[in-house]
């Protein structure tokens, strides 16, 4: 769920930035520590259950860590691009009025 949150947030922020022109910007809490704690809990469960690949501790760490890193890279890259696009569209709309 948290990875899905990281994937959706930049789009929601861009829409908010475009629609709410006169409202001061609001922050969003990313809570990366939640990601780290949940990943550690999953690795611990993999140790306890002695699961095999891809559910082994190494597999969970590699795949889960990769998913987390990928979701944060997506958040940063898309957030920057979408924020720039929302700003440009808002500026263009203001010139028309």
CA distance 38 to 58: 15
- Give the residue numbers spanning the domain of 70: 2-18+30-96
Q: Is residue 23 part of a domain?
A: no
Orientation angle between helical segments 57-96 and 2-19, nearest 10 degrees: 10
Q: Is residue 92 situated within a structural domain?
A: yes
pTM: 0.73
Total count of domains within the chain: 1
Q: Over its length of 97 residues, how does the chain's per-residue pLDDT go in tens digits?
A: 777 888 888 888 778 877 776 666 666 667 888 889 999 999 999 999 998 888 999 999 999 999 999 988 998 898 888 878 877 887 887 787 6
């Amino acid at each position: 769920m948290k990875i899905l949150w990281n994937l959706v947030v930049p789009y929601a922020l861009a829409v908010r930035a475009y629609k709410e022109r006169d409202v001061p910007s609001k922050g969003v809490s990313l809570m990366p520590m939640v990601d780290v704690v949940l990943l550690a809990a999953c690795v611990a469960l993999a140790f306890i259950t002695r699961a095999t690949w891809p559910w082994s501790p190494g597999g969970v760490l590699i795949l889960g860590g990769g998913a987390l890193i990928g979701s944060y890279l997506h958040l940063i890259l898309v957030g920057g691009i979408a924020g720039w696009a929302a700003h440009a569209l808002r500026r263009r709309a203001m010139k028309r009025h």
